[in-house]
Amino acid sequence: AVAPFLMSSIQPGSMSDTASKVTTPPAAPLSPTNGKLECVSQTLKAVKDYIQQSKIHMSQVCQDMEAGLRMNAHYVNVSVSQREIARAGKNTNRCLDKELIITGDIDRQKNSMGQSQVSIFDSLNGKRYNVLFGNAGMGKTTVIKKLCLDWSIDCIPQFDFVFLLDGKQLALTEPVHSLQTLLLSQSSFAPRCADPDGVYAQILAAPKRVLIVFDGFDELRHYEVLLQTQKKELVASLQKDSKAQAFTVKQLFSSILQRVLLPGCTLLLATRPRGTASQLLRRADSFLEVCGFTPANVETYVSQYFSDPGLRESALDFLKSSSYLNLLCWNPALCHLVCAALEQCKSEAALPRTLTALCHKVLCLKMEKDRGKLLSQLCSIAWEGVKSNSSVVPKGRTVSTQLRAFSLRTGLLLSQSLMRRTPLPLFSSLTIFLLLSVLFLHFPHPVQCLSLPRTVTDHSFLQTLPFQMGAKGRRKPQREEMELTQRIAAGLLFHNRTELQSLHSYSETVFRDMVASKQALVMKHLEGLCFGDLSSAQILEACNYVYEASFTHQESGTDTSAKMLTHLASNLPELLTFRGVPLNPPDVFTVQNARRAGGAEGRSFCLDLEDSGIQICGLRTLVALTCAFLRACIADVVTLWEELEKRSDEGLLQGAVSKFKIHPLKATQVCHIEHLERLVSIHTSKRLSDRWEGVPAVKELYKLEFDVENSKIGDKGAEKLANALVSLHSLEVLNLSENCIGDQGVKKLALALKDLPKLHCLSLYSNVISDEGAESLAAVLPHMASLTDLDIKYNKMTDIGAQSLGASLRKCSKVKTLRMWNQCIPYGVFERLKQQDSRILWQ
């Protein structure tokens, strides 16, 4: 078979054009028969027709959004940012969410790849293995649908073929598939193909013109399983690609991900960021994150949701009056639920104040009267799903026709077809799914459904509370679903009892006693926690947990919920650090809530918000609270100062400047040099206020260390750093080891180093400094009055540079140690220098 020539619609010189020329038989004095020419012509037409049909089909099936909304009317462009990995080691337990470098708000905006899927692929520069991640509800699937729609209107010309593969297809375990049938015949996202052999031949001929998108993988571990090494026999069988052979969907997915099949194609893998991902981290070329809604995005979405101008204005007013509800809209899926709740809201007092109250309100809107038995069955199925970590109704679980019809009609379940087979029911919303599971946990139906247990034991209930201990006493890491389940469990337990009446059939007395018993268990569990042993992530979890319990309903406050908030506030650590823990807008609100209670008791906290990704608006919120000092991203803090200066908020500005600390400063990214330079510029110019004598944080910086693992600062970075160093008069320790600094960089640094009166420790270990740079250091060494330790080992200088430093050392009485050995210095020369001055050391 001859691979068909590429269509004339493809731009000349494209990758597929080149590939087709390679696969075309070599030019020779052949005279093909008219039949062969006609066959090639028909194949060419079939391929062109299939691509056009695919685009038409994609433009139709990718239009649907949640709850009947359409992409063409309700889609809101969200930003996608490029993320970097901190380490490149071979640790077998590497986790994506822990390996990602968390940047500040300003740097995240700089790393944004724009709001267009076209610009995303332009920015990738041909990278073939890409991971798109985001937490539940952040809009990964919506971004993918928009990508497909853009391709359908010829906005992504890099690809002739786009295939969308769903992780839920792994539920199909029969070995009846080939790569050809998987891509062309059995996907609900692909149209019928008139000439599958011809189209498939073109796909094989030009894999670089193929984009394969994997979606529907809720956890990284699903990818990790698929990336496990396959048996050699299976690999050989797959590579033969014989029509007589059949494979499972899992085997085909695995072979695509491991580059056994279509090795030249571009992959885009969507997932949530939590979990071990060692294999994926080693293979991926780039990591992209869906950033969620900005305040402007929220306003656009709400405006598009409400077509009636009166309802639109009312909804926006209600939203502005409810801070937490507004912040929840940062998550696009929750923004949709908020709109559904606002649709029926008649007054500000009726607005839900927590995630639990929001989910409960939406569930009640979806409910029909006298459907208690059906709801009980659905709650049981949801709880099974939480335990098995799947929002798909279990394959072996029988769903009656009545339950299916009720669930689909109310929108609690969706129906998804896999490979054009019987539709698979799955829950329509993660939050509703979790609320249903918690309803079963709290209020298992006593009589109406014999398949349900009559009670849930206290032990089972306690397992849903946060911060459970593992077998060896370690606190178990929580999945995202379980964390949300715990929050909703706490909120529902303290929810207004009258509103919960429609969701259970217990007598008032039984219901009251059941709730009181579980509230007491929650309080006992919270009192048993040692907050000093909790990690930063667990402290944040506790703030979210207690907020749900304390504010789920305006009038449902109980003694227990009030005690929970008081207990949390009085036991929060004095140093409240969220370093390395992403703080999204709703998180900031719950931390603020806990801090307010703590402040009311006269406590003062130290806040460390570095490497938390907090938005500048959230930073402004926390700065306004009583705190002894604040650490955060320098660029974000400086931007906040400038905003406060424009608003003439002198009181908050003065507090923000005076509380800000950077000592000790460990720079882990190249951009941190630019941030420091900008801060020093403000300090020297005194431009924020003539009344202040510079910036206290700059005056109090004693230790500066650069530990940039993936990208070194080099000579250019050293030059920028030199500009900042001239004003760091309190600096005592400077560590610039392993940063690819050469002679030019050292020359600039040397001029600044001599003017640092308190610098006593300088490390330039393992850079690329040669004799010229060593002589620059030797020239300023006698002028560094406080220097006691200099480490310049493992550079590139020879005996010439070593002798210059040795001669200069004799003029420096305060220097105690000079480490400068490297393999470029002859052994005899180094030994002679050591004999002349005992302060010169090997190590």
Range of the domain at 719: 662-841
Distance CA 666, CA 669 (A): 9
The answer to whether residue 467 sits within a structural domain is no
Distance of CA 9 to the CA centre of its chain: 38
Distance CA 116, CA 199 (A): 29
Residue 689 above 70 pLDDT? no
Residue 512 above 70 pLDDT? yes
Q: Give residue 555's pLDDT.
A: 44
The answer to whether residue 388 sits within a structural domain is no
The answer to whether residue 521 sits within a structural domain is no
> How many domains is the chain partitioned into structurally?
3
Q: Give residue 280's pLDDT.
A: 86
E strand segments, 84-158:
129-133
Q: What is the mean pLDDT of the chain?
A: 82
CATH of residue 238: 3.40.50.300
Residue 646 above 50 pLDDT? yes
Quickly state the pLDDT bin for 57 (edges 50, 70, 90): very high
Both 719 and 753 in one domain: the answer is: yes
Distance of CA 568 to the CA centre of its chain: 28
- The answer to whether the beta carbons of residues 126 and 177 sit under 8 Å apart is no
Residue 453 above 50 pLDDT? no
Distance CA 123, CA 130 (A): 12
Both 251 and 319 in one domain: the answer is: no
Segments in 686-843 forming alpha helices (H)? 696-699, 714-725, 743-753, 771-780, 799-809, 827-836
Give the CA distances from residue 128 to residues 204, 290, 645, in Å, rounded to whole numbers and listed in that order.
Answer: 16, 19, 45
* Domain's final residue, options 351, 383, 398: 351
Question: Higher model confidence: residue 527 or residue 788?
Answer: 788
Both 719 and 691 in one domain: the answer is: yes
- pLDDT tens for residues 455-501? 456 666 666 677 664 444 455 556 677 778 778 878 888 887 777 76
Both 277 and 156 in one domain: the answer is: yes
Q: Give residue 25's pLDDT.
A: 39
Report the candidate in 120, 226, 209, 116 with the shortest Cα–Cα distance to residue 165: 226
Distance CA 609, CA 253 (A): 40
CATH of residue 790: 3.80.10.10
Q: What number of other Cβ atoms are within 10 A of residue 285's Cβ?
A: 14
Both 84 and 189 in one domain: the answer is: yes
- pLDDT tens for residues 424-433? 566 556 666 6
Question: Higher model confidence: residue 493 or residue 23?
Answer: 493
Q: Which two tokens stand for residue 174?
A: 């029969």
The answer to whether residue 733 sits within a structural domain is yes
Peptide bond into 352 cis (omega under 30): no
The answer to whether residue 165 sits within a structural domain is yes
Q: Percentage of the chain with pLDDT > 90? A: 41
Lowest mean pLDDT among 640-644, 686-690, 818-822: 686-690
Distance CA 843, CA 837 (A): 15
Q: Give residue 118's pLDDT.
A: 60
The answer to whether residue 339 sits within a structural domain is yes
Most confident of 15-19, 366-370, 622-626: 622-626
Lowest mean pLDDT among 330-334, 704-708, 724-728: 704-708
- pLDDT tens for residues 78-112? 889 988 887 655 555 678 777 888 999 999 988 88
Question: Higher model confidence: residue 512 or residue 612?
Answer: 612
Lowest mean pLDDT among 194-198, 445-449, 664-668, 706-710: 445-449
Both 257 and 277 in one domain: the answer is: yes
Both 89 and 138 in one domain: the answer is: yes
Both 267 and 323 in one domain: the answer is: no
Both 327 and 283 in one domain: the answer is: no
- pLDDT tens for residues 751-806? 999 989 999 999 999 999 999 999 999 999 999 999 999 999 999 999 999 999 99
Both 243 and 347 in one domain: the answer is: no
Q: Give residue 369's pLDDT.
A: 47
Most confident of 123-137, 268-282, 371-385, 803-817: 803-817
Radius of gyration of the chain, Cα coordinates, nearest whole angstrom: 31
- pLDDT tens for residues 585-633? 999 999 999 888 755 566 778 899 999 999 999 999 998 887 788 999 9
Q: Give residue 760's pLDDT.
A: 95
Both 104 and 161 in one domain: the answer is: yes
Beta strands at 286-290 and 80-83: parallel, antiparallel or unpaired: antiparallel
Q: Give residue 50's pLDDT.
A: 94
Both 303 and 161 in one domain: the answer is: no
The answer to whether residue 360 sits within a structural domain is no
- The answer to whether the beta carbons of residues 332 and 294 sit under 8 Å apart is no
Task: State the residue for tokens 């990718």.
Answer: 62
Q: What number of other Cβ atoms are within 10 A of residue 685's Cβ?
A: 9
* Domain's final residue, options 351, 382, 399: 351
The answer to whether residue 471 sits within a structural domain is no
